[in-house]
A and B are shown apart, each in its own frame.
Chain A
């Protein structure tokens, strides 16, 4: 017997994963949530049919949105994670003792409940006393926040679903306002490879570039995302991701990683020419 899960990466390309069994399927107010068990990727979650994380490759996302800003900002105390209801990013951040509080804002309570139930070893990140989970719309949560956070991580990946509002100028503006004067925002920047995704990627950079004094893009290899190639955004009021990078200080923390290293930090910002070109085009008026 063969059961296959397929996700369309474009209208003409799909990724198929052989499934052992389906662990959960449900519809929340916001989206359809499915959890599968597979040979190759372990357990994975699909929201409205798109894989958002798998046991096999979620460490790449989590490490890349966490350690890159943490190795640049000298003293992060207050962190806000938008999305991130699976707890993976929070878990990664908890390794840093300097962090005093982590606010996680997630719209969909069902998503959190499903993760707690099926991925307890990841969702344990949400149970730490330093972590507080808010079930709220990201934009709404941010509206009245002024200069409160050192680091904001937007962990939402889909610029077209119910999280569309988290890829807008008003969102980036709200993050700017909610960050302290040396704060950093890190966000999912999508994949630049296929034509269908390129526009969203361009538009994100155009908006962030105009909202923050420093705005750089970095990359990682993530097998389950379209084309396996994924970008992240680093937007900041003060610190530059390369010039202010402190590898020695970070190494001293002895944080255990599987993907991120101090060498990789530098390399992640060295982008292929076609990506550099499309980003530079969006920087022009």
Chain B
């Protein structure tokens, strides 16, 4: 990576010089630099609405970039060590879906862990590919799904030699990494592509002593949530390609579903964030690691909580751990993660990333300050003092192996009928059920509903998890296949 080149930010520079020209707009957007919508200009600031402009020659066009966006993408590719990079404005959802749609067609098989983000299974609904799930090992104490073990991936490849690709979470939401290098070698030896879902892994490309990034491990494509650890605006993301992937075809796939009016607020935020990461990423993430490790130590000394880290590494299902993640097991104080999550917000004015049945995840990033970490630790200590209870009767978040009966696409488009959740066992689901966040489906279209799953859904709802995915907004009924 050439640091001198990385000091440039072509989209940002183009916007700056465009602003100076004071061009009279007879194009969209219709708010015309905010003048047509004073309340919006007041809320966001005149500078911000003034930069909300349309594609035009001096600013390039995301659908077919030839100038400043193309330059920004080349710089991004170089910064990430990839062959190609695409700036994405539809969230990492669009990056994950573009990866899958680029390698899978109707009827193709794709090997993936069941704890994928819903965007991956949604892509299967769109293209008609079939999921082959590798059941992840589960840490039954923490109640979280771990990474894919090599032996399990190998088994899936042997049983499905016609599969076209393997998708890997690098890392999972909780920070757990599979042995992605070995998965790449194994998959490539069998002619399969490897797709890395790095929605939680932007920093792996820049930090020191962190788990290996997808592209460095040889994955063919990687979806990077720049807006998470990378510091860009919400909804902006990046798709990276390694050598040997046809970039023009991928661009066509992206354009199938991408807006033709990409926001320059998002694009410039990607451009500036890439520059920051390239120039200062290493030191920024060293600070993040330091804060996360400090918080882990302090939280573990409160008692009752378990903030886990590299101590979990076992060489297989937890091949590596991303220490920037601050995941804390809360059942030790008799509270579900989601209960601690709610207490932190309602009683302490602290918003964390998510709480599940057994854990909470606090997102530590380049924007954090040590005094805020003290508040989080102080609040957890106070919760332990005031709300601790007996843990009997608490469900541990067990992994429930899905039974895929028909393809997600077929199930999604089949004739369905609505039944109460409690009476749904035995039927085939026609829709998703998930807690959001983290957005990992409990049920996906085409899967058999079991008593265990029904019990889990009812319990998670009762504990206050925010449930989504069903047609019924109250998640009391499920659409099942007739």
Contacts from A to B (Cβ < 8 Å): 107, 137, 139-140, 142-144, 162, 164-165, 168-171, 173-174, 177
Q: Within 8 Å of chain A (Cβ to Cβ): is B298?
A: yes
Is A139 in contact with B347, judged by CB distance below 8 angstroms? no
Question: Which residues of chain B are within 8 angstroms of A173 by Cβ–Cβ distance?
Answer: 378, 381-382, 385-386
Please indicate the chain A residues that have their CB under 8 angstroms from the CB of B348 in the complex.
168-170
Q: Check B381–A165 contact: CB distance below 8 A.
A: no
Cα–Cα, bound, A168→B383 (Å) = 13
Known contacts A173-B385, A173-B386, A177-B385: does B379 contact A168 (CB below 8 Å)?
yes
A165–B371 CB distance below 8 A: yes
Q: Is the interface of A mostly helix, strand, loop or mixed?
A: helix
Contact check, A174 vs B371: say whether CB atoms are below 8 A apart: no
Q: A66: shortest Cβ distance to chain B, in Å?
A: 26
Within 8 A of A (CB), among B349-374: 349, 369-372, 374
The 3 lowest CB-CB distance pairs between A and B, nearest first, are A173-B382, A170-B378, A170-B379
Decide if B377 is an interface residue (CB 8 Å cutoff): yes
Q: Which residues of A contact B378 (CB under 8 A)?
A: 139-140, 142-143, 165, 168, 170-171, 173-174
Residues of A within 8 A of B349 (CB): 168-169
Q: Are A139 and B385 in contact (CB under 8 A)?
A: no
**Chain A residues whose C-beta falls within 8 Å of the C-beta of B375 in the assembled complex:** 139, 164-165, 168, 170
Cβ-neighbour of A143 out of B369, B371, B381, B386 (below 8 A): B381
- Kindly list chain B residues whose C-beta atoms are within 8 Å of the C-beta of A107: 371
**Per a CB cutoff under 8 Å, which of B298, B301, B382 touches A170?**
B382
In the complex, how many angstroms separate the beta carbon of A282 from the nearest chain B beta carbon? Answer: 15
CB pair B371 A169 closer than 8 Å: no
- Chain B residue nearest to A162 in the complex (CB): B371
Residue in chain B with minimal CB distance to A29: B370
A137 to B369, CA, bound (A): 12
A164 near B371 with CB under 8 A, answer: yes
- A169: contacting residue among B302, B370, B379, CB under 8 A: B379
* B residues near A144, Cβ cutoff 8 Å: 301
- When A168-B348, A169-B347 are in contact, do A174 and B374 touch as well, CB less than 8 Å? no
Q: Which residues of B contact A142 (CB under 8 A)?
A: 378
Pairwise interchain contact A169-B382, C-beta atoms closer than 8 A:
yes
Nearest residue (CB) in B for A136 is: B374
Interface SS of B by simple majority: helix
Q: Are B381's CB and A174's CB within 8 A? A: yes
Can you list 8 A-B contacts (CB < 8 A)?
A137-B371, A139-B378, A140-B377, A168-B349, A169-B347, A169-B379, A170-B375, A173-B382
Shortest Cβ distance from residue A172 to the other chain B in the assembled complex, whole angstroms: 9
When distances are taken between beta carbons in the complex, the residues of chain B under 8 Å from A174 are 378, 381-382
Kindly list chain A residues whose C-beta atoms are within 8 Å of the C-beta of B370.
Answer: 137
Asked if A143 meets B377 with Cβ closer than 8 Å, knowing A168-B348, A168-B349, A169-B348, the reply is yes
Closest beta carbon of chain B to A31's beta carbon, Å = 11
Question: Closest residue to A203 on the B side, CB-wise?
Answer: B349
Question: Please, how many angstroms separate the alpha-carbon atoms of A169 and B302 in the complex?
Answer: 17
B300 to chain A, nearest CB (A): 13
State in angstroms the CA–CA spacing of A168 and B347 once bound together. 9
Taking CB atoms, residues of chain A closer than 8 Å to B382 are: 169-170, 173-174
Q: Enumerate chain B residues within 8 angstroms of A171, measured Cβ to Cβ.
A: 378
Bound form: Cα–Cα A140–B372 in Å: 11
Q: How far, in angstroms, from A137 to B295 measured CA to CA in the complex?
A: 14
For B302, the chain A residues whose CB sits under 8 A away are 143
- Partner of B377 from A139, A162, A177 at Cβ < 8 Å: A139
Question: Which residues of the other chain, B, contact A143 by a CB distance below 8 angstroms?
Answer: 298, 302, 377-378, 381
Known A143-B298, A170-B379: A165·B374 in contact at CB below 8 Å: yes
**Those of B374-395 within 8 Å (CB) of chain A:** 374-375, 377-379, 381-382, 385-386
Complex Cα gap A139–B377 (Å): 9
B385 contacts A137, C-beta separation under 8 Å: no
Chain B, residue nearest A30 (CB): B371
How far, in angstroms, from A174 to B298 measured CA to CA in the complex? 15
**CA of A182 to CA of B41 in the docked complex: distance in angstroms?**
54
Q: Determine whether the beta carbon of A170 is less than 8 Å from that of B381.
A: yes
In the complex, chain B residues whose CB is within 8 Å of the CB of A137: 370-371, 374
Contacts of B386 in A (CB 8 A): 173
Taking the nearest CB of chain B, how far is it from the CB of A109, in angstroms? 15
Q: A229 CA to B394 CA in the complex, in Å?
A: 51
Q: Which of B328-351 contact A (CB under 8 A)?
A: 347-349
Bound CA–CA A171/B371 (angstroms) = 12
Give CA–CA (A171, B374) in the complex, Å.
10
A164 to B386, CA, bound (A): 22
- CA gap between A144 and B302 in the complex, in Å: 8
Complex Cα gap A7–B347 (Å): 32
Residues of chain A within 8 A (CB-CB) of B381 are 143, 170, 173-174
Known: A139-B375, A165-B374, A171-B378. 14 other contacts (CB 8 A): A137-B370, A137-B371, A137-B374, A140-B298, A140-B377, A140-B378, A164-B375, A165-B371, A165-B372, A169-B382, A170-B348, A173-B382, A173-B385, A177-B385
In the assembled complex, the Cα of A170 lies from the Cα of B383 at a distance in Å of 8
Question: What is the distance, in angstroms, from B303's C-beta to the closest C-beta of chain A?
Answer: 11
Residues of B within 8 A of A165 (CB): 371-372, 374-375, 378
CB distance from A169 to the nearest CB of B (A): 5
Q: How far is the CA of A179 from the CA of B380 in the complex (A)?
A: 19
Q: How far is the CA of A139 from the CA of B381 in the complex (A)?
A: 10
Q: Residue among B370, B372, B375 with the most chain A CB within 10 A? A: B375
Closest-CB distance, A241 to chain B (whole angstroms) = 25
- Pick from A137, A144, A177 the residue with the most CB of B within 10 Å: A137
User: Measured between alpha carbons, how far is A170 from B379 in the docked complex, in Å?
Assistant: 5
State in angstroms the CA–CA spacing of A174 and B372 once bound together. Answer: 16
CB distance from B362 to the nearest CB of A (A): 14
**What chain A residues lie within 8 Å of B371 (beta carbons)?**
107, 137, 162, 164-165
Of all chain B residues, the one with the shortest Cβ separation from A146 is B385
B454 → A minimal CB distance (Å)? 36
A169 and B349 CA atoms in complex are apart in Å by 9
B349, B374, B379, B386 interface centre (most CB from chain A within 10 Å): B374
Closest to A140 in B: B374
Residues of chain A lying within 8 A (CB to CB) of residue B372: 165
Q: Which residue of B lies closest to A210 (CB)?
A: B347
- Inter-chain CA distance A170–B385, complex, in Å, is 10
- Residues of B with C-beta under 8 A to A164: 371, 375
Q: How far is the CB of B295 from chain A (nearest CB, A)?
A: 11
Q: In the complex, what's the smallest C-beta–C-beta distance from A190 to chain B, in angstroms?
A: 16
Complex CA gap A177/B347 in Å reads: 17
Residues of B within 8 A of A170 (CB): 348, 375, 378-379, 381-382
CA separation between A107 and B370, bound complex, in Å?
Answer: 12
Q: Please encode chain B, from 294 to 337, with 1 for each CB lying within 8 Å of some chain A CB and 0 for all others.
A: 00001001100000000000000000000000000000000000
List chain B residues, Cβ under 8 A from A169: 347-349, 379, 382
Among A140, A169, A170, find the residue whose CB has the most chain B CB atoms closer than 10 A.
A170
